[in-house]
Structure 1
Amino acid sequence: MKQVSLARFLIEAQRAGQINADLRLLIEIVARACKAISHAVSKGELGGVLGDAGTGNIQGEAQKKLDVLSNEILIEANEWGGHLAGCASEEEEHPVPIPNAFPKGNYLLLFDPLDGSSNIDVNISVGTIFSVLRCPEGVTEPTAEHYLQPGTAQLAAGYTVYGPSTMLVLTVGHGTHAFTLDRELGSFILTERDMRIPEDTKEFAINMSNMRHWYPPMRSYIEELLAGKTGPRGKDFNMRWVASMVADVHRILSRGGIFIYPRDTKDASKPGKLRLMYEANPMSFIVEQAGGASTNGLQRIMEIQPEELHQRVPVFLGSKNEVEVATRYHREAQR
Structure 2
Amino acid sequence: MVNALRASGKTAVLVSEELEEAIIIEERNRGKYCVVFDPLDGSSNIDAGVNIGTIFGIYRVKQDSTGTVEDVLRPGSEMVAAGYTMYGSSANLVLSTGSGVNGYTLDASLGEFILTHPNIIIPPRGKIYSFNEGNSMYFHSPVTAYLKSIKYPTPPKSPYSARYIGSMVADVHRTLLYGGIFGYPNDKKSKSGKLRLLYEAFPMAFLTEQAGGIATTGTKRILDIVPKDIHERCPVFLGSKDDVQDLMKFYKEAPES
Q: Report if TM-score (shorter chain) is over 0.5.
A: yes
Among 2, 7, 10, the residue aligned to 1:83? 10
SS, match of residue 211 in structure 1: helix
Task: Answer yes or no: is 1:103 the counterpart of 2:29.
Answer: yes
* Pairing of 1:186-197 with structure 2 (within 5 A): 186-197=111-122
Distance 2:125 2:42 in 1: 26
Question: Aligned AA for 1:242?
Answer: I
Answer 1 or 2: which has greater helix percent. 1
Matches of 1:141 and 1:248, distance apart in 2: 33
Which residues of structure 2 form unaligned runs of 5+? none
Shift of 1:139: 2.0
Report the equivalent of 1:330: 251
**SS of the residue 2:251 aligns to:** helix
Q: Is the 8 A contact 2:215 2:237 kept in 1?
A: yes
Are residue 293 (structure 1) and residue 218 (structure 2) matched? no
Query: For 1:220-250, what per-residue CA distance to the aligned partner results, in whole angstroms no more than 9, with x for missing partners?
Result: 11111111354xx932210000000000010
The aligned residue for residue 59 of structure 2 is 133
Distance (Å, rounded) in 1 between the aligned partners of 2:229 and 2:25? 21
Classify the secondary structure of the residue corresponding to 1:219: helix
Q: Secondary structure at 2:8's aligned position in 1? A: coil
In the alignment, structure 1 residue 228 sits paired with structure 2 residue 153? yes
> Do 1:108 and 1:132's aligned partners in 2 also have CA atoms closer than 8 Å?
yes
Q: Residue 179 of structure 2: which of 235, 256, 263 is its match?
A: 256
What is the aligned counterpart of 2:134 among 179, 185, 209? 209
Count residues in correspondence: 256
Match of 2:75 in 1: 150
> Take 2:100 and 2:147, find their aligned partners in 1: how far apart are those partners?
31
Structure 1 residues not aligned, in runs of 5+? 1-73
For 1:145 and 1:278, locate their aligned partners in 2 and report how far apart those are by CA, in whole Å.
Answer: 15
| Structure ID, larger Rg | 1
Once residues 86 and 285 of structure 1 are traced to their aligned partners in structure 2, the CA distance between those partners, rounded to angstroms, is 20
| C-alpha distance in structure 2 between counterparts of 1:215 and 1:265, whole Å | 7
For normalisation by structure 2, the TM-score amounts to 0.96
Give the secondary structure class of the aligned counterpart of 2:157.
coil
Superposition pairs for residues 1-335 of structure 1, below 5 Å? 74-100=1-27, 102-142=28-68, 144-230=69-155, 234-268=157-191, 271-334=192-255
Q: Secondary structure at the match of 2:113?
A: strand
The residue type paired with residue 162 of structure 1 is Y
Whether the 8 Å contact between 1:252 and 1:258 is mirrored in structure 2 is yes
Structure 1: 4+ residue segments shifted above 3 A: none
CA RMSD of aligned residues (A): 1.3
- Whole-angstrom CA distance in 1 between matches of 2:117 and 2:157: 33
Paired residue secondary structure (1:274):
coil
